[in-house]
Amino acid sequence: MSYFEIIGGKKLNGEIEVRGAKNAALKAVAAALLSREKWTITNFPFIEDTNRILEMVENLGVKVARGSNQVEIQAKSIQKNSLDKNLTKKLRASIILAGPMLARTGKVEMYHPGGCVIGRRPIDMFLDGFQKFGAKIKWQDGHFRMSAAKLAGAKIFFPKITVTGTETMMIAAVLAEGETILENAAMEPEIPALADFLNKCGAKITGAGTPIIRIKGIGRNGKIRGGKMELIPDRIETGTFAILGAICGGKIKIKKCNPNHVRAFLVNLSKAGVKFEEKKNELVIWGAKSLKAINVSTHEYPGFATDLQPPFTLLMTQAKGSSLIHDSIFDGRLIFTDILNTMGSRITMNDPHRVTVNGPTDLHGKKIASPDLRAGITLVLAGLIAKRKTKIENIYQIDRGYERIEERLRKLGAEIKRIQK
């Protein structure tokens, strides 16, 4: 066990690079199981979540070779039909492995996936999708078994937009027989990026990045070739670092990012009074001398990302006026605001999806614990602007999404250290 110790109030300056997208990395590892040939995935972030999914595929008998910011995966054979119980319970994205395993071997056994506790996140849509492909599902003692002699193309309408659900069904459909149509599909940039690479390797996917995706399956015996895939930059890191610059800068240059992937976020950042300059692969953020309170509502892409709501809520604690934050995606994502209130913020919970933030307020360092990934990094940012010392425990949650974050922040001038218990 370890924790972060932060001394706040330091003005930060310098450059920070965005790592490869966490969500893109997880799905690329799963998609690599479709091929018997070697996939090389570059710009790969070695964080807790990606390390766990690599361990899971290694446990299946898949060869994994880790390098500097890249990983090689070759699934000549998948030797097991079951996913490790302990690892599955740590990672919600483990459900995405079920698709290629079912397509390759015809059988999957796994426990209900875990991950962040941010409201109800059922897997019904995943299981309904697999059933439409022809899989039979049996529940027993907290885990389920799926079997299918082959996957048949299906028409799947998502009653609620789901990123992981869209990607899971898209990956599974590649080795199905016949055409699959996904309707009301998610449109996040990680989806067309994965589809484009799969197409280069022999898949037949059209419409990725739109609400309707069509996949012409090549069958279980079809060939998906190997290749080299570069992951897109993490748009959530991009937005998080932009808020860091707004509340702690100085002047911070965010490198190796894609501003087009956070367009809705940048529009709201500008409305709040944050000055920035964008280039093709860079953002320059200047510390805001005064911030204006604005209302924000999260929405599926290309709207304001729910994963950027927690740090933006922190930003509003430093803005003049009253702002309404509405997280329309998850019903538990705003609970972390109670922790900010212990540090001195004035946030009122209206209902599970809405809070009112009154600012500006001075924050004071406290002993706190990270409840989930995005709230955790928000608490790090809060500690960086708080008076006195902040101690953050349960930083495993932060490590799930941010690679060596304390080292990267120290290069900007932050006083933060990881302390092992």
pLDDT value at position 123?
A: 82
Beta carbons within 8 Å of 140's beta carbon, 6+ residues apart: none
List the structure tokens of 236. Answer: 């959530």
Per the CB < 8 A criterion, the answer to whether 216 and 181 are in contact is no
Of residues 116, 201, 248, 257, which has the active-site annotation?
A: 116
pLDDT value at position 356?
A: 98
CB-count burial class (<10 Å; 0-12, 13-18, 19+) for 421: exposed
Mention the CATH class of domain 2-18+233-420.
Answer: alpha beta
Answer whether 2-18+233-420 and 22-230 agree in fold. Answer: yes
Per the CB < 8 A criterion, the answer to whether 142 and 111 are in contact is yes
Q: What residue ranges do the domains of the chain occupy?
A: 2-18+233-420, 22-230
Q: Which residue has the tokens 């390797």?
A: 201
Strand partners, 138: 145
- pLDDT in single tens digits along all 421 residues of the chain: 899 999 999 999 999 999 999 999 999 999 999 999 999 999 999 999 999 999 999 999 999 999 999 999 999 999 999 999 888 888 878 999 999 999 999 999 998 886 444 444 468 889 999 999 999 999 887 788 999 999 999 999 999 999 999 999 999 999 999 999 999 999 999 999 999 999 999 999 999 999 999 999 999 999 999 999 999 999 999 999 999 999 998 999 999 999 999 999 999 999 999 999 998 899 999 999 999 999 999 999 999 999 999 999 999 999 999 999 999 998 889 999 999 999 999 999 999 999 999 999 999 999 999 999 999 999 999 999 999 999 999 999 999 999 999 999 999 999 999 999 8
pLDDT value at position 121?
A: 47
CA distance 6 to 416: 4
CB-count burial class (<10 Å; 0-12, 13-18, 19+) for 331: middle
Angle at 17 between CA 13 and CA 18, to 5 degrees: 125
Taking alpha carbons only, the member of 60, 62, 64 closest to residue 44 is: 64
pLDDT value at position 382?
A: 98
CA distance 236 to 224: 30
For residue 250, say if its preceding peptide bond is cis, omega within 30 degrees of 0: yes
pLDDT value at position 354?
A: 97
CA distance 389 to 366: 7
Phi, psi of 114 (to 5 degrees): -105, -140
pLDDT value at position 114?
A: 67
Q: What is the maximal distance between C-alpha atoms in the chain?
A: 63
CATH number assigned to the domain covering 22-230: 3.65.10.10
Relative orientation angle of helices 373-385 and 235-248, to the nearest 10 degrees: 20
- Examine the residue annotation and report whether 116 is marked as an active-site residue of this protein: yes
